[in-house]
């Protein structure tokens, strides 16, 4: 939990810094995918492994997963219907039969209507969302953070000894 909170604070810090937007946008997009996927499935494990082993912002991924889990919950009835439609498509039947009888693939639980519906939506949204998140972060930094840094309040706060101490601390241990 501490690790998770630390990562979320790190995300907020990075969001307001000048660092690259790629790990943040990637984290948010993968979090979206995690939010839509069922907790116990091979694709969740796979995405978690990517999040851990690749340089993706963990806080962004957790925060996004937490947020999109609620969205996915609200989306469940629609996902159920969409999943049923896909799984009952006659043209895809041979593919599903083959996939169902293949090793590993059934561990994705693709044969569940909600999983299939959510997967179809998340696979479509996740790549697009990467670019959207990237653009939103850039705009946030330009429109909100930059303006805030120009305010007198921030300038006064930045001039305090406390802030200087914090910057030193962050430089060495942050």
Residue ranges that bind another protein, judged by CB under 8 A: 52-55, 76, 79-80, 83-84, 87-88, 93, 96-97, 99-107, 109, 111-115, 117, 171
Least spacing, CB of residue 42 vs another protein, in Å: 9
d(CA 44, CA 29): 13
CB neighbour class for 114 (10 Å; exposed up to 12, middle 13-18, buried from 19)? buried
55 or 147, CB closer to another protein? 55
Query: Which of 147, 168 has the CB closer to another protein?
Result: 168
CB of 152 to another protein, least distance (A): 26
Of 113, 106, 112, 108, the residue nearest 82 (C-alpha): 113
CA 69 to chain centre: 10
Cα 43 to Cα 38: distance, rounded to the nearest angstrom: 9
Closest to 26 (Cα-Cα) out of 45, 7, 54, 3: 54
Give me the least distance between CB of 15 and another protein, in Å please: 17
Query: Least distance in Å: CB of 162 to another protein?
Result: 20
CB nearer to another protein: pick between 84 and 143: 84
d(CA 27, CA 51): 7
Considering the complex, state which of residue 100 and residue 131 has its C-beta at the smaller distance from another protein: 100
Backbone angles phi and psi of 77, in degrees to 5: -60, -40
Q: Which of 52/131 has CB closer to another protein?
A: 52
Shortest spacing between CB 124 and another protein, in angstroms: 19
8 A C-beta contact, residue 108 and residue 118: no
């Amino acid at each position: 939990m501490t690790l998770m909170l630390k990562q979320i604070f790190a995300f907020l810090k990075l969001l307001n810094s000048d660092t690259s937007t790629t790990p943040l946008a990637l984290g948010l997009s993968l979090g979206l995918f995690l939010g839509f996927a069922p907790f116990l499935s091979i694709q969740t494990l796979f995405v978690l492994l990517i999040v851990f082993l690749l340089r993706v912002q963990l806080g962004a991924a957790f925060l996004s997963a937490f947020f999109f889990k609620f969205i996915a919950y609200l989306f469940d009835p629609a996902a159920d219907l969409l999943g049923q439609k896909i799984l009952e498509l006659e043209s895809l039947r041979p593919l599903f039969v083959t996939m169902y009888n293949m090793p590993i693939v059934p561990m994705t639980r693709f044969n569940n209507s909600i999983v299939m519906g959510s997967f179809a939506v998340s696979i479509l949204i996740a790549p697009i969302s990467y670019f959207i998140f990237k653009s939103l972060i850039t705009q946030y930094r330009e429109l909100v953070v930059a303006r805030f840094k120009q305010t007198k309040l921030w300038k006064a706060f930045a001039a305090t000894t406390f802030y200087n101490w914090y910057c030193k601390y962050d430089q060495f241990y942050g």
